[in-house]
Amino acid sequence: MSKLNTPDNHVAANGDRPPENGDRQRTDFVLEKFFPYRVRVFYTDVTNALSEVYQRDYGMMPAEWRTMAILGAASGGLQATEIVARSSMDKVVVSRAVKRMEERGFLMREANSADGRSFLLQLSDEGRAVYEDLAPKLLAVERKMLQGLGEEEISDFLAVAQRIRNNLANSSEENGS
């Protein structure tokens, strides 16, 4: 997934040359009306509203908070792999978040007797206290951003988002080139 921003090792399908196209069709493309642009602007606001809280209160970064959110809800220890699966974060990102959280005393790793390659992760008492402090605050941010919206509006919104995701997932064909 996501192979964004890899400037020079791209293998351009057409050798990076623009098509010979001197006729100036003046394509009518307006960024401000472009759906993905609006999604980005929306996403940026949403994600900043959250990170303000955990960044301000505990200097945590998004990956750390997400890791904490998963561990906080779990009963026993979890493997890093499960966090990767459930957070949809890259495994490198999870690895580093875990490392940092361990350094800060927010989580503990124990050897996994069932599999010597992995560790079982869980929040320390301190980490759990942070979680118990943060989770309600972040739920409050969620409540705030959704205030004035009905259940149905929200579920419709999410349903549309899901349909869009499905549209993108089904077949990578026909998207140019």
Partner DNA sequence: CGAAAATAGTTGCATATGAAACTAAGTCAA
Partner DNA sequence: TTGACTTAGTTTCATATGCAACTATTTTCG
Site for DNA in 94-113 (CB under 7 A): 94-96, 98-99, 112
| In contact, 142 and 157? CB cutoff 8 Å | no
Smaller CB separation from a second copy, 116 or 176: 176
- The residues in 127-166 that bind a second copy, with binding defined as CB under 8 A, are 127-133, 135-142, 144-149, 153-154, 156-158, 160-165
- Record the tokens describing residue 76, joined without a space: 């026993």
Smaller CB separation from DNA, 6 or 147: 6
- The residues in 49-78 that bind DNA, with binding defined as CB under 7 A, are 61-63
Smaller CB separation from DNA, 118 or 124: 118
CB of 113 to a second copy, least distance (A): 25
Cα distance between residue 78 and residue 123, in whole Å: 10
| In contact, 77 and 121? CB cutoff 8 Å | yes
What is the rounded radius of gyration, in angstroms, for the C-alpha atoms of the chain?
21
Q: What are the DSSP calls for 52-75, one per residue?
A: HHHHHHH---HHHHHHHHHHHH-S
Cα distance between residue 12 and residue 23, in whole Å: 23
- The residues in 63-82 that bind a second copy, with binding defined as CB under 8 A, are 66, 69-70, 72-73
CB of 109 to a second copy, least distance (A): 19
Residue 24: in which H helix or E strand, if any?
none
| In contact, 76 and 120? CB cutoff 8 Å | yes
Q: Is 37 in the site for a second copy (CB under 8 A)?
A: yes
Provide the binding-site residues for DNA, judged by CB under 7 A: 1-9, 61-63, 79-81, 84, 89-96, 98-99, 112, 115-119
